[in-house]
Amino acid sequence: MVAAKEESRNFGHNAGTVTLILSSLAGGEKHGYSLVKDVEKFAGVHIAPGTLYEALARLEKLKFIEPVESDDRRRPYRLTANGATALANQLRAQRRAVNVGLKRLDGGGLIA
Amino acid sequence: MSSSENARRAHRLTKFYPTAWRQRYGEEFEAHMEQDIEETPHSLSRSLNVMMKGFGTHAKNLTWRILLLEPSQGKLRNSRVLPTVLVLGFALSIALRGSNVGTPWPALILFGVLYALFLFGYVYDTRKIRTVGPSKRFSMDRNIMTGIIILNSGVILLQNAIGHRTLVLYTVLVLDVVLFSVRFGWIRRKREPVRNPLIPVVQGKTKS
C-alpha cells in the first residue's frame, strides 16, 4: 500500500495526463504525435504539446518510459517494467474509487 | 500553409524552452509541433500552453541552479543570481507599496516564501540523491543563505516600525547584492576542489 501511494505521488499534479500517456504506451511504442492521436481516440482528450512533453520528461526521469532509437526526428517511447507496474497500481486505485462512487450513487438512488 | 512556414513557427515556439531542454527534446518537439500546426494552423491555446510550459521549465532550471551550490559554476550562477535578486527586490518593492504599514505580514510572507524555496532545493534534492551528508563548506553556505533571508525579513519588519519604506527596501536590495557578491567571491577564491553533496560522484569525479 505504501509503495502504491509512493507511485501515485510520482504521477504528480498531471496524474490524469500521465495515466493516459502510460495507457497509450501500454499498447506499444509511439512517438509524441501518434500518442496524442491514440489518446484522443480512446479517451476523447487532447493533450497539448507543452503538457505532453512536460509529462514525457517527467516519466523518462522516473524511468517509467524510455526512448527508442530511431532515424526519424520523431523519437518513439516505450513503457518500461517500472512504468507498467505503476500504471497497473494507478488503474487499480482508480477502479476502486470508481466502484465505490458508483455503488454509493446506486445505493442513494441518485442514478436511474 | 507551407511546410517551411510550419517548421519556422515550430522552431520559434521551441525557443521558449531552455537550451538544455532543447538539446534533449528540441528536435522531436519541433517535429511534433510541425504536425500539430499542419493539422490546426492557428491555435492560441497551443501557443499559450507551449509558452507557459517553457517558462515553467525555465523557472525550475533557474531555481535549481540558484539554490544548489556548485563552485565550478560560480560565474554562471553569478550571472543568474544577481538579476534574480534584482527582479525579486523590485517586485517586492512594488508589492509592498500597496501593503499596510505597521503589519508584519509582508516580512513574514517574504521570509516564508524565500525560506521554503531555499529549503526545498537543499532538503528535497539531498533526500532524492541520498548523499551521506553535507560538507562543512556546504553547511556554512546554507547558514549564510539562511542569514541573508532572515536579515531581509528583519529589515522589512524594521521598516514597518520606522517607515521610510522605499529607502529601506532599496537598502535591503543593495545589501543583498553586496552579500551575494561577497559570497560568490569567497567561493571563487577557494580553489581547492569541493564536492557538492547534491551532485552525484561518478568514478571519483564530480559529475557536472
The C-alpha of A75 sits at a distance from chain B's nearest C-alpha, in angstroms, of 6
Q: Which of B16, B29, B57, B129 has the highest number of chain A CBs within 10 A, making it the mutation to test binding with A?
A: B29
ipTM, two decimals: 0.82
Least confident of A7-11, A26-30, A92-96: A7-11
- DSSP-assigned beta bridge partners for residue A65: A79
Distance between CA A45 and CA A51 in Å, rounded? 12
Considering chain A, what is the average pLDDT of its residues?
85
| A6-15 mean pLDDT | 59
Q: Which tens digit of pLDDT belongs to each residue from A30-88?
A: 999 999 999 999 999 899 999 999 999 889 888 899 999 888 888 999 999 999 999 99
Q: Which tens digit of pLDDT belongs to each residue from B194-203?
A: 444 444 444 4
| B162-185 mean pLDDT | 68
Distance between CA B168 and CA B201 in Å, rounded? 44
Out of A33, A54, A57, closest to residue B32 by CB: A33
Cβ contact, residue pair A50, B21, below 8 Å: no
The CATH number assigned to the domain with range A2-107 reads 1.10.10.10
The C-alpha of A37 sits at a distance from chain B's nearest C-alpha, in angstroms, of 10
Most confidently predicted of A77-81, B23-27, B139-143: A77-81
Which pTM does this prediction carry? 0.56
Cβ contact, residue pair B46, A48, below 8 Å: yes
3-state secondary structure of A77: strand
| Alpha carbon of residue B55 to chain centroid | 12
The C-alpha of A96 sits at a distance from chain B's nearest C-alpha, in angstroms, of 30
Q: Where are the domains positioned within chain A?
A: 2-107
Cβ contact, residue pair A56, B33, below 8 Å: no
Out of A54, A57, A74, closest to residue B32 by CB: A74
